[in-house]
Chains A and B, each alone.
Chain A
Amino acid sequence: MNKPFAITLNVGSSLANKTGTWRTFRPTYIKRLPPCNNACPAGEDTQGWLYHAESGDYETAWRHLTQANPMPAVMGRVCYHPCEGACNRGQLDSAVGINSVERFLGDEAIKQGWKFEAPSKETGKRILVVGAGPSGLSAAYQLRRMGHQVVIFEAGPLAGGMMRFGIPKYRLPREVLDSEVQRIIDMGVEMRLNTKVEDLLKTMKDEKFDAAFLAVGAHIAKRTAIPAAESAKILDAVAVLRSMEGEDKPMLGRRVVVYGGGNTAIDVARTAKRLGAEEAIIVYRRTRDKMPAHDFEVEEALQEGVMMRWLSTIKHVGEGAIQVEKMELDENGKPVPTGEFDTLEADSVVLALGQDVDLGLLNGVPDLTFQDGVVQVGDNMMTGYAGIFAGGDMVPSDRTVTVGIGHGKLAARHIDAWLNGTTYVKPAKPELANFEKLNTWYYTDADKTVRPMLDIIRRQSTFDEVQGGLNEDNALFEARRCLSCGNCFECDNCYGVCPDNAVIKLGPGKGFEFNYDYCKGCGVCVEECPCGAIKMESEQT
């Protein structure tokens, strides 16, 4: 008892007092699904690759991105970026320019010569991919990564599909497309150009393919019966855009009328303008807001001097002029004829009314189902015939490059599982990190970086790329505008704001842990987490 006066106990630490027993609610770290990832038709982990780009580690970001999509330089130009439409930052100031950062990473990869790694093992399985468009290339890339032998049969003279023969150069420079295709071939994918598959089952048998993925696209222009003079010049959009890739450019004349309201119609009108047409007029039977074309493309076309004739149908095509009938919308928004007619001068008319699929290669394959001119596939992307899978524009879906990339990836996973005699099960989606889950107080105000646009004169006369890219400085800034929705980005807020010092910081890249011995369950960490990566749950009794 060598203690001072009136002292009977040794000094102790409050660590003896396990305040965690007070808790009725328990915080836990979780990963929620960011809206951008949720919206991506190609299934990219957008938030995940932006995280690496934020620290300037572009190669890791690119490698993370290309797990889902092997062509970021292409997609950073042609994707309609539904991710940006879903981005939570859009509710704060403006959406993160995900598409422009993707393009920056893609261009950086081309500049630095980054290559895909060869597969670590060979499975010995041979897979036939028909069509070297986005879907076929994506499937080939994914299957090769899994160690399968892949041969692509492409009917055309060059790879790329609609990326080459449908999307004009001013949106997608061909050297960009070529380098991203080449990188896939360099993984050991065999590409046979000018090789059309006439009899699928025979080809598979002759060359001992274990499975096939079909992605032949939709290249046959839809026609419509319009009364026309014999000398009238009527072309179709697919042929016009395709011939842009050849030696002989299409002869469209000084006044070009394009009939249709989709993105292809816009592409043709803008191409006509660049070929020297004085007037390029789009005739569409409904109104601008009803157009299937994306609004920014309509806007860009208008800037370049393309004219629009809304609520009109073509009644007759004569020599040097066409007759259009004015339409009006009924109460259901459907266009109905008014009986009023007008004459437009036109040297040629280009029909852009949609495309059909050439299903010739499937002749003689049993057990297939067709509907609306496309092949039906199951959730596993397999047709009715075991071992034959299909994707892209030839199956029911939205016809975009991004959807095609997504189909290729998904089909590859199912093909791999099917070859192994198993079934690929998609992992369950975590709950969505919507705007309400965020504490946006913590984010700095920072407006979106706008990509530079080519000046209008050059847009009207050349096929130079219209939209510029970001440089390293503003790409980094743009990446750092990411709110990291639903996923911890190590801002240390939980570690700092805990009144009980009950959050353990594990160090860079390792995140945090709760010390449940002392956590009283006050919930301040949950409330102050900027990105919604902590969840409060009732304690089990």
Chain B
Amino acid sequence: MGHQDVKFYQTGTFTVGNRLLPPEQRSVQSEIERTNSLNCGHRACQGCGEALGARYAIDAAMRATNNQLVAVNATGCLEVFSTPYPETSWQIPWIHSLFGNAAAVATGVAAAAKVRARKAGQQLPEVRVIAQGGDGGTTDIGFGCLSGMFERNDDVLYICYDNQAYMNTGVQRSSATPPAARTATTMPVGEHPGNDWGQGKNVPLIAMAHGIPYVATASVSDLRDLEYKVKKAMSMRGARYIHIFVPCPLGWGSASHDTIKLARLAKETGLFPVFEAEYGEVTNVSKIRQKQPVEAYLRLQRRFAHLFGKKPQVELIARFQAMADQNIHKFGLLGNDKAVVGFPDSEHK
């Protein structure tokens, strides 16, 4: 991946920090002075992956922009647990409007920043804009606004924290929910228990198809990679998109202490490919380090419990494995394999 692995040290750069690393090579999260953009006292559940992912990403963006940052939030868990009136956990300028319009509001904030910059005689605005939301507000409800922001190439980084369902309202299915998963609206009953197969959408690939400057996926299990991608995104202008995988102990029925472990397994099984793309073309993938069978990931979650009852659903588990294997092939997740997906754009060659 793009960040440097320091192999010499006992833990390399896999851990958050390392006392043996020179300070400039340490992560933002290892610093005593990190922003803590999302501060203590927020009301997220125990072991919330989204709260963690948001602090990782926004702290890194604050560092990258020298604290000149505004965040626009879609409705969702992140908004609800961080700002019950009149309290806020945010230690940055932050605005919330509606469920589906975060991308559009961010476009407006970016336009306003541009106008202010011009009036002050500057070429480019110093203040940068991030829009953020969950998978519901991104892949379903806010999708129209998001696609518009992409095609206009507005100067906004949109971050989607993907926990694979509408968790805030009681775990309803979204277009990011994986097949067979139990949610409040896809109960494990009938001939095809859980969420349907062959539905949903892959928003990172759709974002790439817009030909925007930067698209990346990241995971709370790989902090270094996540920080590297946010920093890189903030060094660019135009529409950028980062899709962060954030396990949800409540909605997935997993132990609160397994949040990072699950994110790690999603990547190591190949179910969640971690990569980055510029102008529609994959430029880098995070290789699988210790390949795991999908079962290791699925078993830890009660939303997939019906696959493992007295009579394990061997066929369905095999179908998950096929999904993972397809990702491994498509994105070249093993060895020296190259990604075979993408939307090459000759103009930016």
Contacts and interface: CB of A to CB of B under 8 A. Distances in A.
B257 interface: yes
A484 interface: yes
Contacts of B15: 442, 491-493, 530
Nearest to B30: A492
Contact of A11 (B86, B255, B260): B86
A499 B51 contact: yes
Interface in B1-58: 5, 7-12, 14-20, 26-27, 29-30, 32, 36, 38-44, 46-49, 51-52, 55
A492 B29 contact: yes
B52 A517 contact: no
11 contacts: A14-B43, A16-B87, A54-B10, A441-B14, A489-B10, A492-B16, A499-B48, A501-B38, A501-B40, A515-B40, A527-B260
A19 B14 contact: no
Interface stretch (A74-82, A307-315, A415-423, A475-483): A475-483
Interface of B: 5, 7-12, 14-20, 26-27, 29-30, 32, 36, 38-44, 46-49, 51-52, 55, 82, 85-89, 223, 249, 255-261, 264, 290
Contact of B40 (A10, A15, A526, A536): A15
A524 B264 contact: no
Interface in A398-420: none
Nearest to A523: B257
Interface in A507-534: 507-508, 515, 517-518, 520-524, 526-528, 530
A4 B15 CA distance: 46
Residue picked from A13, A54, A502, most chain B C-beta under 10 Å = A13
Contacts of A446: 7, 10
Contacts of A526: 257
Contact of B20 (A12, A54, A520, A523): A54
B249 to A, nearest CB: 8
B95 to A, nearest CB: 13
A385 interface: no
A489 B249 CA distance: 29
Among B30, B46, B86, B87, find the residue whose CB has the most chain A CB atoms closer than 10 A: B46
A17 to B, nearest CB: 4
A518 B264 CA distance: 26
A341 interface: no
Given A489-B19, A492-B30, A14 B9 contact: no
A14 B86 contact: no
Contact of A496 (B7, B17, B261): B17
A225 interface: no
Contact of A443 (B14, B19, B260): B14
Nearest to A500: B40
A495 B31 CA distance: 9
Nearest to A477: B8
A443 B15 CA distance: 8
A527 B44 contact: no
Nearest to B33: A505
A508 B19 contact: yes
B47 A444 contact: no
Contacts of A370: none
Contacts of B51: 499-500
Given A13-B39, A499-B44, A55 B20 contact: yes
For the complex of A and B, list the 6 residue pairs with the smallest distance between their C-beta atoms, beginning with the closest: A492-B17, A496-B16, A523-B257, A14-B41, A522-B47, A444-B12
B55 A524 contact: no
Contact of A14 (B26, B39, B260, B261): B39
A480 B30 contact: no
Contact of B223 (A490, A496, A517): A496
Given A11-B88, A480-B10, A492-B16, A524 B40 contact: no
A22 interface: yes
Contacts of B88: 11-14
Given A14-B82, A443-B11, A496-B27, A490 B42 contact: no
A497 interface: yes
Nearest to A9: B86
A18 interface: yes
Given A12-B86, A524-B259, A527-B258, A17 B41 contact: yes
A501 B55 contact: yes
A473 B259 CA distance: 38
A16 B30 contact: no
A518 B41 contact: yes
Contacts of A489: 10, 19
A40 B161 CA distance: 49
B264 to A, nearest CB: 7
B168 to A, nearest CB: 16
A490 B264 CA distance: 22
A442 B16 CA distance: 10
Contacts of A483: 10
A492 B31 CA distance: 9
A524 B11 contact: no
B42 A14 contact: yes
B10 A444 contact: yes
Contacts of A499: 44, 47-49, 51-52, 55, 259
